[in-house]
Amino acid sequence: MCMQTLHVIKIGGNVIDNSENLHRFLKDFTALEGFKILVHGGGKVATQVSESMGVEARMIDGRRITDIDTLRIVTMVYGGLINKNIVAQLQRYGTNAIGLTGADGNFIRAKKRPVKIIDYGFAGDLTENSINPESIGKLLDSGFTPVFCALTHDGEGQLLNTNADTIASALAVALSELYDTTLVYCFEKKGVLQDIDDEDSLIREIDLERYEKLKTDQIIHSGMLPKMDNAFTAISCGVKAVIIGHSDDLGQLKKDKGFGTRLSK
């Protein structure tokens, strides 16, 4: 039996922080055929709200330290302000979206990150069984488009701040058992570039062998490495393909015009 298609799409701050970019993206997202799930973080909004409330936003290696005051703020911003704005705009464009945290429907359960060298506070790490694919599948099959923010729960009543890239990857892997799943990361570049300063140097296709060579040649390094490693892990776990591209170009995905960089086996 042929499985139905599913796109799990993660958007970053370059979309969330700019209303014009967000509206353009959501129109293109609505135009995509088949089942789809949207995953988002908080962009700069959580930091701005923290500062306005006199709570210092602390980051280590790009990861937010989530103390109890910060958790309250990200819950308000991620699960409230940003999530419900996205849902309202999607309804405007004709997508029957439903805004969710991982606690809703027990869809995504995480574990509080253990304290080692750094105490990240109420940060959540996903496990192999964190995602509840059958329940999420019921939502999709009922005509809803889930919009997940970067919040999960531990099953004991505690909300946890969880990396949105990781949530998107875990959703794609878990749901690949039920759907023909493609994972899409939308960020501020056209995709993986041969030259980081040249947007015309886009690499259209990368398989694992080519990825290893690009790493050896230091074409891909630093911040892109975790994203790429997660992508190939997802592919090895059943995801059909991972695409990395600019949010402004998402419309090309519907037209099969070569959106971003496609990673595959």
Q: Count the Cβ atoms, other than its own, within 10 Å of residue 58.
A: 14
Residue 59 CA: distances (Å) to CA of 47, 64, 180: 10, 4, 36
Strand pairing report for 97-100 and 145-148: parallel
Residue for token digits 């570049």? Answer: 189
Count how many residues are written for the chain.
265
- Shortest CA distance to 139 belongs to which of 185, 108, 164, 182? 108
d(CA 106, CA 101): 9
Residue 223 among known ligand-binding residues: no
Structure tokens at 4: 């139905």
Judge whether 210 is annotated as a binding position.
Answer: no
- The two tokens of residue 56 are 């210092």
213-226 b/e (C-beta count within 10 Å ≥ 16 → b): ebeeeebbeeebee
Tokens representing residue 161 in the block: 């701040």
Identify how many contiguous H helices and E strands the chain contains and give both numbers. 10, 14
64 assigned to a ligand binding site? yes
Is 43 one of the annotated binding-site residues?
Answer: yes
Residue ranges of the annotated binding site for substrate are 42-43, 64, 161
The annotation places the binding site at 42-43, 64, 161
